Amino acid sequence: MRYIRLLHTIQTAISSGFLIAAFVICLSLSPNSAHAMNIQKVKSPGGIEAWLVEEHGVPLIAMRFGFKGGTTQDPKDKTGLAHFVSGMLDEGAGSLKSEEFQERVEDLAVKMSYSAGRDVFTGSFTTLSERRDEAFELLRLALNEPRFDRDAVDRIRGQIIAGLKFDANDPNKVAAKEWFKLAFAGHPYSRAAKGDEDSLKAIASEDLKNYTSRIFAKDNLKISVVGDIDADTLGGLLDKVFGKLPEKSDLISVPEAAPPYGPKRKIIQMKVPQSVAQFGHGGVKRKDKDFVAAYVLNHIIGGGGFASKLMEEVREKRGLAYSVYSYLSPMDYGAAYIGGVATQNNAVGKTLDVIQGVLSHMAQDGPTKDELENSIRYLTGSYALRFDTSSKIASQLLWIQIEDLGSDYIEKRNGLIEAVTMDIIRKVAKRLIKADGLIVTIVGQPENMTESSAPGQPG
């Protein structure tokens, strides 16, 4: 019955025009798993490398790629440049103007998108096997011959500026933006990823071209491919798409960021029904020896949803907030441990007190044995869900490359989680958590609080 229902779903998807969605549904039932995956390291005739997982049961190819760089490569007076570029690469390339290019993408049922993170610029590309060559040609044009026509540039600039105005009224986005500004003052991480109206108005087509010519290069490129393609065919396509990129990137030097610690607080007044707070301090980088234990610890504290300590203490026991969370934010030049909560204006101080108390207790005593065992069980058991579609697999493989974890990381990962003992996690808790060193940004109208008062205490 399961497969009859699946067939009906696929037929419905196909009849509705959602071909790629139907194929992804199929792939989610593939016998391949994270532990049975054959990762091939492909090297093209021109020397371009990629990781490949072949899946010929579904006529679909998913590619993810990334260039080291990201928003840290924005000039100081032109913040938002990388984000601007990410919105322009499907706005015309080669001889195809914006409308023609996008019509061609739609006709071929290609999915193509780009994103600028702090340290990396990534691309996502998915195509049907039968339209492979035409689809990859569009990708080649986008990366090698973007047009950056003035009318398209002005239109996308207007869209980004309109989005910034919308974001300025979103307390969550304002709290996050102001937190990084406060925590990493003077460092590129403090800058707004999308820029501001003045910086965006200063960006011209030539700036967009300069960014791509500096960042899009072979020496800082990582690629993963999953789907209906073999190594020899992929090798030829890698050279076609990426072969004419510069050999060397021209990256701006980025200094190491000082670990962000408080106590610091900033209040941004906004007329909203409840206040939003972002809190945090320094964290651990991805290659740090304690990262895995810190990852398990964070799942216990605030990364485990309703099973987390913060959710238990803040929501379940006291009803102070609907949601509270925390996460690790490892970056190339620094790291942070960050959390967030939204609560009534008259409960902000009490809520932060509770959060600070949970962190203090965890730093002093660590989690219980049951909390550790439950967290390990969940994190290892749920890992396979990251590999249940071609797109998810390609994304996982790309980030494993970017983070330089090795092609055997998938096989090793659960063992690393299971190796975290009570002694280890308690030591890491003492190292990671500084409850009295929180940096806090609050957006709303919090009552009885000032910026000069210590985190969690009334002014």
What token pair was written down for 196? 């501001």
Instruction: Give the contacts of 4 (CB within 8 A, at least 6 positions apart).
Output: none
Tokens read off for 156: 């996308």
pTM of the predicted model as reported, rounded to 2 decimal places:
0.90
Residuewise pLDDT in 10s, the chain (459 residues): 333 333 333 333 333 333 444 334 343 333 334 446 899 999 999 999 999 999 999 999 999 999 999 999 999 999 999 999 999 999 999 999 999 999 999 999 999 999 999 999 999 999 999 999 999 999 999 999 999 999 999 999 999 999 999 999 999 999 999 999 999 999 999 999 999 999 999 999 999 999 999 999 999 999 999 999 999 999 999 999 999 999 999 999 999 999 999 999 999 999 999 999 999 999 999 999 999 999 999 999 999 999 999 999 999 999 999 999 999 999 999 999 999 999 999 999 999 999 999 999 999 999 999 999 999 999 999 999 999 999 999 999 999 999 999 999 999 999 999 999 999 999 999 999 999 999 999 999 999 888 865 544 433
Token pair, residue 386, equals 């990251």
Question: What's the confidence (pLDDT) of residue 458?
Answer: 39
Cβ(330)–Cβ(321) under 8 Å?
no
Q: What share of the chain is helix, strand, coil (3-state, %, to 5)?
A: 50, 20, 30
